[in-house]
C-alpha cells in the first residue's frame, strides 16, 4: 500500500516524532499510539519518539505517557492516531509540529494533516498500525504486539462487532505469533472491579426500552459517586445494554461535573452517528458519542434514537 510507504518515508525524514491520539483514550487510542511508538523506537533507536496526552488512570496497565516540552515540537513530525476530528486531539501542540500525519479508521468528517491515511474498513487504528508494519516489513516487538492486540480487542469488543473482518483475524493471528503475555492481557481485558459489576446491575435495573428496541439510561453525578466510578470507567458498561435481546440501539447519558452530559451511543444495525453529529459529537455508524447540554436535549436525543429505529423497522 503506497500510503504506508509514504508515511515511512516521512518518519525517516524527522529526528523527533511525537505521537498523539484522542482525548478520553480507550484501548485502541492507546494501543495504536503507543504500539506505533514501540514499533518506531525498535527500528529507529536514534530518533526521539514520544507519546503525548493525558495519563488515563484506568489504562496505565497499557502504557504511560511521556513528558513533552514545547520545544520538542520544533521541526518535529506529529502523528495523530485514532482521532476523527481536530477538537478531539489530545494536546493541541500538534499544531506546532513541522509536519502532521493522520492515521484513523473513523469516517473522515474532518480532513486534517499534511498526510492522511483514513481506512474506515479497519476495525481499529491498531489494526492499521499492524498493517503499516507489515506493508513496510518492519518486525513488531513483543511490547508493540501486546499493545496493538489490546487495541484490536478493545475496538472490536473482542471480535464481536461487524467491523471485525477476515483481515482483522489475520492480523490478530500474526500478533499472537509474537511472544507476549496473551493470557494476562486477555484476563486484564475481561476483568471488572466489583463496583463496575454493581454499576452494571444499576444499568440493567434502570434501562428504559421502547417497543422498537431504543434504550436509554441516565447516570447522574450522584450515581457515579454512589458507585465510586469515574466518567472514564463507564466505558466498562457501555456494551452491557446490547446483550439484551430486545435492545437494538441505546444511549447512556453520563452527567459530567459541569452539568452537561456525555452521551455514549451504540447500535446493533441502524446507524446512529448522524444523531451524534447533530449533538456535538460523531463517531462510527454503530458506535458514537455526543454531548448534551440539558435534560431537554437528552429527551431530544432519545426521541431521535427512537425515530431512527422506527424508520428502520418500517
Site residues, ligand AMP (CB under 6 A): 26, 84-85, 88, 106, 238, 264, 281-284, 287-289, 291
Of 24 and 42, CB closest to ligand AMP: 24
Closest approach of ligand AMP to the CB of residue 87, in Å: 8
Of 145 and 308, CB closest to ligand AMP: 308
d(CA 17, CA 99): 10
Cell output for 123? 476495525
Of 151 and 282, CB closest to ligand AMP: 282
Cell output for 289? 458519542
Of 85 and 134, CB closest to ligand AMP: 85
Of 131 and 272, CB closest to ligand AMP: 272
Are 305 and 279 in contact, with CB atoms under 8 Å apart?
Answer: no
Closest approach of ligand AMP to the CB of residue 145, in Å: 23
Closest approach of ligand AMP to the CB of residue 276, in Å: 7
Are 147 and 126 in contact, with CB atoms under 8 Å apart?
Answer: yes
Closest approach of ligand AMP to the CB of residue 24, in Å: 6
d(CA 178, CA 70): 36
**How many Cα atoms occupy the beta-carbon half-sphere of 255 within 13 Å?**
13
Q: Nearest residue by C-beta to ligand AMP?
A: 289
d(CA 90, CA 87): 8
Report angle CA 253, 257, 258 to the nearest 5 degrees: 95
Closest approach of ligand AMP to the CB of residue 294, in Å: 17
Amino acid at each position: 500500500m503506497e500510503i504506508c510507504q509514504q508515511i515511512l518515508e516521512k518518519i525517516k525524514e524527522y529526528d523527533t516524532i511525537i505521537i498523539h491520539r484522542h482525548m478520553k483514550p480507550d484501548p485502541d487510542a492507546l494501543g495504536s499510539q503507543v504500539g506505533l511508538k514501540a514499533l518506531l523506537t525498535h527500528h529507529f533507536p536514534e530518533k526521539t519518539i514520544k507519546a503525548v496526552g493525558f495519563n488515563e488512570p484506568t489504562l496505565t496497565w497499557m502504557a504511560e505517557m511521556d513528558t513533552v516540552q514545547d520545544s520538542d515540537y520544533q521541526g518535529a513530525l506529529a502523528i495523530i492516531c485514532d482521532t476523527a476530528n481536530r477538537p478531539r486531539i489530545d494536546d493541541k501542540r500538534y499544531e506546532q509540529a513541522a509536519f502532521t500525519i493522520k492515521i484513523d479508521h473513523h469516517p473522515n468528517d474532518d480532513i486534517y494533516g499534511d498526510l492522511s491515511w483514513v481506512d474506515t474498513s479497519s476495525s481499529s487504528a491498531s489494526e492499521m498500525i499492524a498493517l503499516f508494519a507489515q506493508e513496510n516489513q518492519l518486525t513488531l516487538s513483543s511490547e508493540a504486539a501486546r499493545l496493538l492486540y489490546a487495541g484490536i480487542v478493545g475496538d472490536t469488543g473482542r471480535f464481536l462487532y461487524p467491523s471485525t473482518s477476515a483481515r482483522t483475524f489475520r492480523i490478530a493471528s500474526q500478533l499472537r505469533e509474537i511472544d507476549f503475555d496473551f493470557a494476562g492481557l486477555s484476563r486484564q481485558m475481561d476483568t471488572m472491579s466489583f463496583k463496575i459489576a454493581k454499576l452494571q446491575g444499576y444499568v440493567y435495573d434502570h434501562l428504559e426500552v421502547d417497543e422498537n428496541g431504543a434504550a436509554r439510561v441516565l447516570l447522574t453525578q450522584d450515581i457515579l459517586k454512589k458507585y465510586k466510578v469515574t466518567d472514564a470507567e463507564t466505558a466498562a458498561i457501555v456494551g452491557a445494554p446490547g446483550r439484551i435481546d430486545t435492545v437494538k440501539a441505546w444511549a447512556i447519558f453520563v452527567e459530567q461535573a459541569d452539568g452537561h452530559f456525555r452521551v455514549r451511543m451504540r447500535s446493533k444495525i441502524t446507524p446512529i452517528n448522524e444523531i451524534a453529529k447533530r449533538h456535538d459529537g460523531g463517531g462510527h455508524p454503530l458506535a458514537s458519542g455526543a454531548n448534551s447540554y440539558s435534560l431537554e436535549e437528552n429527551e431530544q436525543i432519545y426521541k431521535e434514537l427512537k425515530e431512527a429505529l422506527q424508520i428502520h423497522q418500517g
